Structure 1
Amino acid sequence: MKKFVAILTLALFVLPVSLAENSVDVEIFNAVNEKVKEIKISYEDAKRIEEGDLSPLRIKHDSGFSNYIISCGGGKVFIPFSKERSFLRLMLRPILFHYSKGITITKFGANYVWKGKSIDDYGLMIGNQFGIMLGFVGLHIKIGWKLREDTHIFVGSSILFIGYDKLG
């Protein structure tokens, strides 16, 4: 019985070492040579990256025209030279928003800058956030309140979208 326990204990230590993949530390830099992040990937994925496949790094290059946006929050929205409370049309002017409390969900297209949570092609900002939309097509509703910040709802798409999640 003691031999069986000794062999089982030895197997518990040797088996994970024999099944473990060789891993490599990969550092990712942006265009101005600033380190963005460091991840640990398998040796096979490192070979795929050397061949030009960036999918192991979770970097995706998509083609598309616009970013689909659903945004709702309490805060300020600034649209230059516009006094409208709501609209349903193309707005080529930039739309700047700052929510102290809000949620923004977007499906990325081609033109976006995003500092928030992202899952595959979808981005999510919750809480304190700000952003810029350029070339927005869709519905904007402003609900004014006397004792608290106005509520804004955007549903549509934009040609360019920049989002910054202050909490994320």
Structure 2
Amino acid sequence: MKKIIAVLIISMFLVPTSLAKNSVDVEIFNALNEKVKEMKISYEDAEKIEKGDLSVLGIKHDFGFSNYIVSVGGGKVFIPFSRERCFFRLLLRPILFQYTKGITITKFGANYLWKGKSIDDYGLMLGNQLGMMLGFIGLHIKIAWKLREDTHIFVGSSILFVGYDRLG
């Protein structure tokens, strides 16, 4: 009897209490074919991904005015056919900027190309940077200086945002 109890106790420790879920290795690449993340997910989540639901991976897809932008920097900004020092409106023309010193923080959706630091779905560029915004809606302020580069402030959102952090 003692041997049977001992065998049952040992088998209780050796047999798993629940069946292990099978998992799938998933690799996530960005538009430049660089590996961003590697993770394991269950077969049920893999089936959701095959159906097009990418929320399992933590990828959020937005479209429209989805890239929220706060950008402050000293440098050059080119807005075609515009001489204004500031505006608060929708501007469908491209805005090209090149900062020698600046900071840009953006929350991106599905429509971005980013060469900078990113935390989850937020991007950060510090220092020497350049970029382009298309379909900007929000506030732009230009502070002109005589002996140094102009300071530009952008607060708003855009349809398309391309950023390149030269230092990062």
The alignment's TM-score, normalised by the length of structure 2, stands at 0.70
RMSD after superposition? 2.7
Deviations 1:106-143 (A, max 9, x none): 11133221111111121111111110001111111001
Instruction: Report the Cα offset of residue 93 of structure 1.
Output: 0.6
Instruction: Report the Cα offset of residue 64 of structure 1.
Output: 3.3
Which residue is 1:74 aligned to? Answer: 74
Which residue is 1:126 aligned to? Answer: 126
Instruction: Report the Cα offset of residue 26 of structure 1.
Output: 6.9
Deviations 1:46-74 (A, max 9, x none): 8678543767866x141232211100000
Find the aligned partners of 2:129 and 2:79 in 1 and give their Cα distance: 17
Identical residues among aligned pairs (%): 71
Of 34, 37, 41, which residue of structure 2 is paired with 1:36? 34
Deviations 1:82-127 (A, max 9, x none): 1111111111110000001100011113322111111112111111
> Rg larger in 1 or in 2?
2
The alignment's TM-score, normalised by the length of structure 1, stands at 0.70
1:116 aligned onto 2:136: no
Question: Residue 156 and residue 57 in structure 1: after superposition, are their counterparts in 2 closer, same or farther (change >3 A)?
Answer: same
Instruction: Report the Cα offset of residue 39 of structure 1.
Output: 5.9
Instruction: Name stretches of at least 5 consecutive residues in structure 1 with no aligned partner.
Output: 1-23
Aligned length: 141
Moved over 4 A (4+): 24-31, 38-42, 46-51, 53-58
Instruction: Report the Cα offset of residue 166 of structure 1.
Output: 0.9
Instruction: Report the Cα offset of residue 27 of structure 1.
Output: 6.1
Instruction: Name stretches of at least 5 consecutive residues in structure 2 with no aligned partner.
Output: 1-23
